[in-house]
Structure 1
Amino acid sequence: MSVHAGQKPWTVPALAEAKREGRRLAMLTAYDAGFARIMDQAGIDLVLIGDSLGMVVQGHDSTLPVTVADMAYHTAAVARVLQRALLVADLPFQADATPERALDASVALLQAGAQMVKIEGAGHKLEVVRFLVEREIPVCTHLGLTPQSVLRLGGFKLQGRDEQAAARLLADARAAVEAGASLLVLECVPTPLAQKITAAVEVPTIGIGAGPHCDGQVLVLHDMLGLDSGHRRPRFVKDFLAQGGSVAGAFAAYAQAVRDGSFPDAEHAYA
């Protein structure tokens, strides 16, 4: 297996360089070696072992039942085949409740092959971000709709609608970067707010339902292949399998659409 287009494997410092150069980043979730290998060959830049596996792989109604052991298992499977893409793994529900718990979980995921961990939310999680970064663990912070907060939020809903909520999200993004986050995921955020956050921070932003102005995009594997996960399809999801004609073609079409800015369009974003 050759590295896509002769390019070097992605590293954490290369992400910031991509933002400075204006290069959009294509990210997808993966949970097994078979799909991950095809993604890597198709030129996907970042692969996320999402705790979304609880819903699309394990059949749960939320991400809450996923464990660190689950995440480590799937991370190891994907890590074995990646040659170019940077591998990010979610810290599952309450694995980041304290800095010490987050460190234990992060070590398990990095030892399984991850190069970065993703943490949902800000607030007290900023202490966790700082604690991990000080211990040489790269961190991605997930803001906006945070699926692990589904019980408190009352469902999967658009975030940052009003002026006060938007100001809080912008402040959280700045604080996460100040704490040491190397990447931000913005989920279900109005397009103008995501654009403002992207302009305000030095690290790349990865949007999912956050409009076209983020530095990159991410989708759940099953969603972008048009597979029925048993859950309502969000408006930001597009079926790239129909466009690409094959799984490899779907991944390549998605990467190209992200890079040329044609995805997401207004139909797949929130005003």
Structure 2
Amino acid sequence: MSDPASPVPGRRAAVLGSPIAHSLSPALHRAAYRALGLTGWTYDRFEVGETDLKAFLDGLGQEWAGLSLTMPLKRAVLPLLDGVSDTAASVEAVNTVVFTADGRRVGDNTDIPGMVAALRERGITRVPRAAVLGAGATASSAVAALARVCEGPVTAYVRGPARAAEMRGWGERLGVPVETADWADAAEALTAPLVVATTPAGTTDALAAAVPEAPGTLFDVLYEPWPTPLAAAWADRGGRVVGGLDLLVHQAVLQVEQMTGAAEAPLAAMRDAGERALAAR
């Protein structure tokens, strides 16, 4: 990969994280640029860890329009920014950095509205209660999204008292009644009208055998491997499944609009590019 600060005609953007080779973001953003006619725009991926992030940002030139961030950078970037949106501040997690005309670095979180949009696309606008599997940055974003969707309590299934306290804290901060339960009882989560799985690959595989008859909606944030055993079992029993690609596309749509100034990013073209990229693996 070329030096991130090297001069390139047009505007540049990229996704940063570690590991990053698996990211579908380049396929989505490049498809958007083609559909929007932005022939001078490029979008790359860079392997960047927490200790490398400041140097990377400091080395960027004026041709840079924005960055997408994945783990482990969503919280590490906060002290390196000049401003943060209310949405990102609410969960202390940034997945989008936009460089303004006056050189400022402004952070946002498009995961939260992306989750809401992905659910809305599948007809989920309100649920009486919900369950979250896991903790961490994605789980806190899920709680923030559920604040806009869930009418009643959210139960978070986590490992250990520290993570339980953290999730209850996010609930208090976000105005969502969050109850916590031990991961050993995670099968109980599957009876909720909406279940959001935020855990790494393989973590929920054992729960596939516990999917009830006539389940509600599962939002599994993974997109590779897909379907997960839990998502496959859920669909087999007639439940509605929202996947990680749905989230990735909807949050990327918002990123493209912020970075390019486009009034409406091409959702269909971006989804098609993501599906083709996954199928080619």
TM-score by length of 1: 0.35
TM-score under structure 2 normalisation?
0.34
| Greater share of residues in strand | 2
Please say which structure displays the higher CA radius of gyration.
2
